[in-house]
Amino acid sequence: MNKIATIARPARTWQDISQSVSQRAMSKAGRRRRLAATLKLGGGVIVLAAAAWGAVQISETVADNPQKLAAAGAQTPLKEITLTTDGVLDHAWLVRTLATPKNASLMSLDLYALRARLLADGQVYAAVLTRNFPATLAVNIQERAPVARLRAQVGDAPPQTLLVARDGVVYPGEGYDPAQLAALPWLDGVRLVRSGGGFAPIDGMETVADLLATARNQAEPLYRAFVVVSLARLASDGELVVRSKDVPEIVFSTRDDFFRQLARLDYVLDVARAQPDKPLKSVNLADGLQVPVALDTSLHPPASAAPLHAAPLVPDNGTFLLPTLNHTIQRDF
């Protein structure tokens, strides 16, 4: 009987050869790296899932019951009130003015009402109140700066000193250096009008502030001599009348540059200082180069006391004609 021999196909490449060798085992370092990568991936998935769940919960809370968020903040008592200011008011003033309830929580505060309390003080120009969770109220204020002062008496109360800002707001003022207030000129020729718990703003104070700022910045010795600024002729004649330590009456015009007028005044005062026997009673700077002056003839010292000088003479109650405008403008104050 013929037997059919089974002959295996010859292998064509080495890959066709059956191999019984087992796969190489992974090293310990490799296993640790693979485990760390797996844990890292799993941790990231858990974090993302938690964030998504939290977002869903917050969204549902806000959509269904916004009061739940406020209720959470209402459980924490107010612990701190911070103050940021560009002026002189301090933390004690802030706490006293806000007068928040002792056990109030941050969410229970009425920020609009608290802001109104701050703005009721004329020294405060602007105020911003911010809740900083969990328990801090942050207050940022801008203050007015005084440019002049005045004395006023309300009813039977004793007279008090009030401060006036550039925008005409009148306020008592707190926290200022007494020396700073003593250097401010007094206001005259104004009428205070009651408004609410304070006074209505004084018209024309921006013009007064411009004159005083120019004098303080460009002619400080003249500014330090200013005692009183009167607004009595501002509305009718466009003039400010200043009483200084050197001259009882100095008239400034609002229709001319204040720096030019101060330069003319400085020149006239230089000439007058050389003639102490002719003290000035008034100087009118409202007419440009024509500067009318008046002398106080009641204070003449003996003629022998008059010094010799070569300076121009101040005319007796006449008009002082300045030599050149440029000369006075370029003088050093």
Here the CATH number for the domain that contains residue 178 is: 3.40.50.11690
Residues 153 and 277 in one domain: yes
Task: Give the count of domains, the chain.
Answer: 2
Residues 119 and 259 in one domain: no
SS3 97: helix
- Which domain does 106 fall in, by range? 72-143
**In-domain check, residue 133:** yes
**In-domain check, residue 317:** yes
**In-domain check, residue 282:** yes
As a whole number, mean pLDDT of residues 317-331 equals: 45
Among candidates 202, 203, 195, 206, which has minimal Cα distance to 120?
195
Question: What does the mean pLDDT of the chain come to?
Answer: 82
Residues 90 and 221 in one domain: no
Least confident among 169-183, 281-295, 308-322: 308-322
CA 174 remoteness from chain centre: 16
Looking at residue 46, what is its pLDDT? Answer: 80
**In-domain check, residue 44:** no
**In-domain check, residue 56:** no
pLDDT at 157 over 80: yes
Q: Which amino acid is at 315?
A: P
Residues 116 and 254 in one domain: no
pLDDT at 36 over 90: no
Residues 114 and 152 in one domain: no
The helix (H) or strand (E) run that includes residue 280 is strand 280-284
Looking at residue 76, what is its pLDDT? Answer: 83
Name the pLDDT band for 74 (thresholds 50, 70, 90): low
Looking at residue 303, what is its pLDDT? Answer: 41
Top-confidence residue, 156 or 91:
91
Contact criterion met (CB below 8 Å) for 277 and 266: no
Contact criterion met (CB below 8 Å) for 190 and 231: yes
SS3 304: helix
- Residue 212 has which token pair? 């005083």
Q: Give the residues across from 161 on adjacent strands.
A: 151
As a whole number, mean pLDDT of residues 39-64 equals: 69
| CB atoms inside a 10 Å sphere around CB 159 | 9
As a whole number, mean pLDDT of residues 232-254 equals: 97
Residues 83 and 151 in one domain: no
Q: Where are the alpha helices (DSSP H) in 4-101?
A: 28-64, 67-74, 91-98
What is the percentage of the chain residues whose pLDDT exceeds 70?
Answer: 75
Q: What is the total residue count of the chain?
A: 333
CA of 276: how far to CAs of 19, 45, 273, 279, in Å?
A: 128, 94, 6, 6
Greatest distance between any 2 Cα atoms in the chain: 173
SS3 48: helix
E-strand ranges in the chain read: 80-85, 124-132, 136-143, 146-152, 160-165, 170-171, 186-188, 194-195, 198-199, 226-230, 239-244, 249-253, 280-284, 290-295, 319-321
**In-domain check, residue 36:** no
Residues 159 and 284 in one domain: yes
**In-domain check, residue 160:** yes
- Residue 80 has which token pair? 């701190």
Could you tell me whether strands 239-244 and 249-253 are parallel, antiparallel, or unpaired per DSSP bridges?
Answer: antiparallel
Contact criterion met (CB below 8 Å) for 233 and 188: no
Residues 157 and 122 in one domain: no
**In-domain check, residue 180:** yes
Q: Provide the phi-psi class of 244: left if phi over 0, else alpha when psi is between -120 and 50, else beta.
A: beta
Top-confidence residue, 58 or 218:
218
Task: Write down the pTM of the prediction.
Answer: 0.71
The CATH number assigned to the domain holding 127 equals: 3.10.20.310
Q: Provide the phi-psi class of 256: left if phi over 0, else alpha when psi is between -120 and 50, else beta.
A: beta
Residues 124 and 215 in one domain: no
Residue 286 to residue 265: CA distance in whole angstroms: 11
Could you tell me whether strands 198-199 and 170-171 are parallel, antiparallel, or unpaired per DSSP bridges?
Answer: unpaired
Residue 296 to residue 63: CA distance in whole angstroms: 83
Looking at residue 299, what is its pLDDT? Answer: 56
pLDDT at 304 over 90: no
Name the pLDDT band for 65 (thresholds 50, 70, 90): low
Residue 283 to residue 322: CA distance in whole angstroms: 13
As a whole number, mean pLDDT of residues 143-161 equals: 91
Residues 128 and 172 in one domain: no
Q: What is the pLDDT of residues 98-151, one digit of tens each?
A: 999 988 999 999 999 999 999 999 999 999 999 999 999 999 999 999 999 999
Looking at residue 296, what is its pLDDT? Answer: 83
Q: Which amino acid is at 26?
A: M
Contact criterion met (CB below 8 Å) for 77 and 105: yes
As a whole number, mean pLDDT of residues 70-93 equals: 86
Residue 137 to residue 104: CA distance in whole angstroms: 11
Residues 86 and 124 in one domain: yes
Q: Provide the phi-psi class of 3: left if phi over 0, else alpha when psi is between -120 and 50, else beta.
A: beta
Name the pLDDT band for 19 (thresholds 50, 70, 90): low
Residues 137 and 151 in one domain: no
The helix (H) or strand (E) run that includes residue 108 is none
